[in-house]
Amino acid sequence: MASDADQHLHVETFLVSAGRPDRSAGSSVNVPVELTSTYAADGPVNYARSGNPTWNAFEEALGGLEGGRALVHASGMGAISAALSLVPVGATIVAPDQTYNGTGDLLVAHEKAGGTVVRVHASDTARFLAALESADLLWIESPTNPLMDVTELDVVLARARELGVTSVVDNTLSTPLLCRPLELGADVVVHSVTKYLSGHSDVVLGATVVADTDRGREIGERLLRHRTLHGAIAGPLEVFLALRGLRTLSLRFERASATAAELARRLEGHPSVSRVRYPGAGAMLSIDVAGDADAAERVCDATRLWLHSTSLGGVESQVERRRRHPTESEQVPPNLLRLSVGIEHVDDLWADLDQALRTL
């Protein structure tokens, strides 16, 4: 956990200063990468599946950023799996009717194992509130990936808390710079650290964050036990790189978000775009091209700066037709392109996207 003094820092300053070693003469500015599988007896950790000082530094920084206590996991899916493990087989989960497809696959597996999943449109607050009456766990992704639908987090999370329903928010797309779900009543925040937090498309990591309360610490212990027993642990080098990437999150996200807003404005009314899906903030948007799936693929093939790839949140701008993946939700139109806006100059990105769209 960050100190009280750290909590009063501006976020840009906190990102640079958090998770540093203690200052002493000759000390390192950065936490080192500790490469060991085991430790001498009678210390706080005896085996590296349970802990690592490099993890601790990243967890301190992310926990302070979200206002809670963080755990790093081997991947975003590792973090999602750990969060979904909080409810038993047969439980009722309320979730958006369109989520990240990896989450969707796990929800289908939950149903096949005898559980119930109640799917609600992300923006339908009334149906969320009604569904919570019989729920064991609430899963929220806002905005949704890739349709960019938004949920009234404060209203839905408050009702879940009143009913004692465990709530999880995937905060990957918003990042803690736009939203801190723990402050709105969420029990668990999930991140694919691979995306904006690390920001350079060079690591695969995930994280969970819980509140620093009695309930939060109890949930955190369960998540830690799941991580330890299932072995979904992160490599120290990857965590070191993620912490280094976190230092520039504010700069990267500010630039990318401003560019995304401008691109969304320019795309409205474009003759080759039938719909712009932009949640009003952040660095992600999706567009429906005027045409079919083949037309959308041609746009991807015609870009030169935009990287045709399946991830998001890196410094490079990325574009992808999401329905090319067999597990993607059928609610996602075949002609939808998801755009992850990077930190390049807006005019260069626009020129490349515009020329690609005009090939249709």
Q: How many residues does the chain have?
A: 360
> What pLDDT is stored for residue 5 in this prediction?
54
Spatial CA neighbour of 238 closest among 230, 227, 246? 246
CA angle 7, 201, 307 (to 5 degrees): 130
> What are residue 273's phi and psi, to 5 degrees?
-125, 125
Same domain, 188 and 328: no
Distance (Å, whole) CA 129 – CA 94? 10
Indicate whether 18 pLDDT > 80: yes
- Summarised one tens digit per residue, pLDDT across range 59-92 is 999 999 999 999 999 999 999 999 999 999 999 9
Indicate whether 2 pLDDT > 80: no
> What are residue 72's phi and psi, to 5 degrees?
-90, 140
3-state secondary structure of 223: helix
H or E stretch including 208? strand 206-210
Provide the 8-state DSSP code for 64. Answer: H
Catalytic residue among 100, 196, 255, 352, which?
Answer: 100
Sign (positive/negative) of CA torsion 45, 247, 239, 227?
Answer: positive
- Summarised one tens digit per residue, pLDDT across range 213-232 is 999 999 999 999 999 999 99
CATH of the domain at 218: 3.40.640.10
- Summarised one tens digit per residue, pLDDT across range 135-145 is 999 999 999 99
Same domain, 277 and 344: yes
CATH of the domain at 279: 3.90.1150.10
Catalytic residue among 195, 252, 322, 338, which?
Answer: 195
| Span 32-54, average pLDDT | 93
Look at the chain and report how many structural domains it folds into: 2
Distance (Å, whole) CA 144 – CA 310? 16
Same domain, 110 and 200: yes
Catalytic status, residue 195: yes
- Summarised one tens digit per residue, pLDDT across range 246-259 is 999 999 999 999 99
Catalytic status, residue 112: no
> What pLDDT is stored for residue 8 in this prediction?
83
Same domain, 154 and 47: yes
Instruction: Give the rounded percent of residues in the chain with a pLDDT score beyond 90.
Output: 96
Axis-axis angle for helices 346-357, 249-267 (nearest 10)? 40
Provide the 8-state DSSP code for 19. Answer: T
Distance (Å, whole) CA 76 – CA 261? 26
| Span 178-202, average pLDDT | 98
Residue 88 identity? P
Catalytic status, residue 352: no
Look up the pTM and report it: 0.95
Axis-axis angle for helices 236-246, 53-66 (nearest 10)? 30
Same domain, 218 and 336: no
Same domain, 117 and 205: yes
Q: How distant is the alpha carbon of residue 136 from its chain centre? A: 22
Catalytic residue among 97, 149, 170, 352, which?
Answer: 170
Same domain, 259 and 240: no
Confidence category of residue 1, pLDDT binned at 50, 70, 90:
very low
The answer to whether residues 149 and 121 touch, using CB atoms and an 8 Å cutoff, is yes
Axis-axis angle for helices 76-84, 214-230 (nearest 10)? 120
Same domain, 220 and 143: yes
- Summarised one tens digit per residue, pLDDT across range 282-341 is 999 999 999 999 999 999 999 999 999 999 999 999 999 999 999 899 999 999 999 999
Same domain, 220 and 297: no
Catalytic residue among 6, 20, 49, 124, which?
Answer: 49
Distance (Å, whole) CA 208 – CA 206? 7
From 222, 246, 270, give the residue that closes a domain. 246
The answer to whether residues 220 and 210 touch, using CB atoms and an 8 Å cutoff, is yes
By CB atoms closer than 10 A (0-12, 13-18, 19+), residue 360 is middle
> What pLDDT is stored for residue 4 in this prediction?
57
Give 71's strand partners: 208
> What pLDDT is stored for residue 140 in this prediction?
98
Tokens of 80: 């999602």
Distance (Å, whole) CA 149 – CA 121? 8
3-state secondary structure of 23: coil
Same domain, 349 and 237: no
Same domain, 37 and 83: yes
Same domain, 199 and 260: no
Going from the C-alpha of 198 to that of each of 93, 166, 175, 239, the distances in angstroms are: 30, 28, 11, 9
Distance (Å, whole) CA 99 – CA 145? 6
Q: Which structural domain, as residue segments, surrounds residue 321?
A: 250-357
From 194, 216, 246, give the residue that closes a domain. 246
Outline where the chain has alpha helix (H). 4-7, 11-17, 53-66, 76-84, 101-112, 125-131, 153-163, 175-178, 214-230, 236-246, 249-267, 293-302, 346-357
**What count of other Cβ atoms lies within 10 Å of the Cβ of residue 160?**
24
From 231, 246, 261, give the residue that closes a domain. 246
